[in-house]
Structures are given as C-alpha cells and as structure tokens.
Amino acid sequence: MLPTTERGDEVRRLLELGPEALDREAGDRVSVLGDLDELFEQFAQAVADEIAASNDAGERTTLILPVGPVDHYPRLAELINEREIDMADCHLFFMDEYCDHSGRVVPPDHPLSFRREMDAVFFDHLDPALAVPDDQVVFPTHENVTDLPGMIADAGGIDTCYGGIGVHGHVAFNEPEPGVADTDPRLVYLNDYTRTINAIRAGVGGNLEGFPGRRSPSG
C-alpha cells in the first residue's frame, strides 16, 4: 500500500488522463464503455458468467456485492432465469447496510433498507427453482458484523468482490481516512459528503436530519 502522499499524487495523475490514455496505460485491467446501459449489461453478464463457470466446474461461488449501483440486478435475474443458472451453491455477502443513529440495523421494511431494495430489484425476480438459499445471503448487521470474517472463511473465501466507488472515493462506505485498508468489518460513521449525496439520491427528499448516519460495512 502506498503512503498517503504518494497515493494522492497517483490519484491526481490518473485524474489528468483522458479516456484513451487511461485505456492505454491500464491495458486489460480497465474497460472503457460507452454509457451506463452498457456498463450495467457488462456487470450483469460478468456475475452470471462467473456463477455459471463455477457451476460447470462443480465449485461454489462466493461473492461480495454492492447495493448501489442496482440497475444491473434486474438484468442479472433475467440472465439467471434464461440460462437456468442454479444459485444453490452461491454465497452472497452484501457490502453494507444502513444503521440508525443508535447503531442498530434498519429493519427490512425501512424505505432505505438494502435488503428491501435487493428483494425488489433481484431476489423477487428469480425463478424459485434457481434461487439462492436464504441462509447463504448475508447482509451485515450490528449483530453479525464482527462475525463476518469467520462467515466468509466458512463459505470458502471470497471469489470476487464487485463494487462501485462513492462520491469522494469510498468503497463499501469505507470513508477515505488513514488506516482504512487495515480495518475489519465494523460500524462506520458516514461523513457529510456521503450523507448529503445519499439523502438526495435515495428518494427521501434530501432529509439530512432523518437520514441514517451509520452503516455496517462487510469489509
């Protein structure tokens, strides 16, 4: 891991690159796509292909998945159903979940619940014969957050972590701060940048006072 000053210099250098230069320097480590629709299609195809390949090899698939973005999940459900991809040997760990101001996870019927969102955009659309067993779907909570490393180990370790980058560089609501790469799953306080953009985008009218200030990330 680079020291903070060197990482900052590297980020600034990358931000100065145009798409063509970034594509050239990154080689096959980065794909530059035309628009968000193309990105979500590739996202869905990548997850479906990985699960299908593991099934063909007689192996389980253990993934960390984000709830944001979510636009690829309806398409992923379509692909699983169309290709009859059996999810019985999948273990899905979701990156994070909102907690209230006391640090307790919000209930599944809460408007901001990630579990509620995933049911609406993904799980409810799967053919029941292909669905992931309930006990193999894990959302972090205030009760299991310290157990997550062991749960991941019991599931065979993570094959792939899919995710997105937040408004100011956070991954899985690990806010950019010194030492964050060496932390375990935990409750985190969201900073003002994250709370503001999420309150605007989450369909709650930008209500900062009522917006949760904590999340429970899975890593």
Domains contained in the chain, CATH given: 1-31 (no CATH), 33-215 (3.40.50.1360)
* Residue 97 · residue 141 · CB < 8 Å: yes
Can you give the pLDDT at residue 100?
85
Distance CA 219, CA 199 (A): 23
Number of Cβ within a 10 Å radius of residue 21: 11
CA distance linking residue 44 with residue 73, whole number of Å: 7
- What is the tens place of the pLDDT at every residue in 14-71? 788 887 888 888 888 888 888 999 999 999 999 999 999 999 999 999 999 999 889 9
CB 204 within 8 A of CB 177: no
Per-residue tokens: 197: 């953009």
Q: Percentage of the chain with pLDDT > 70?
A: 85
pLDDT of residue 7: 67
Its pTM stands at 0.84
DSSP for residue 181: G
Per-residue pLDDT tens, the chain, 219 aa: give them. Answer: 445 557 678 778 878 888 788 888 888 888 888 899 999 999 999 999 999 999 999 999 999 999 988 999 999 999 999 999 999 999 999 999 988 888 899 999 988 899 999 999 999 999 999 999 999 999 999 999 999 999 999 999 999 999 877 766 667 777 667 777 788 888 888 777 777 777 767 666 666 666 776 666 555
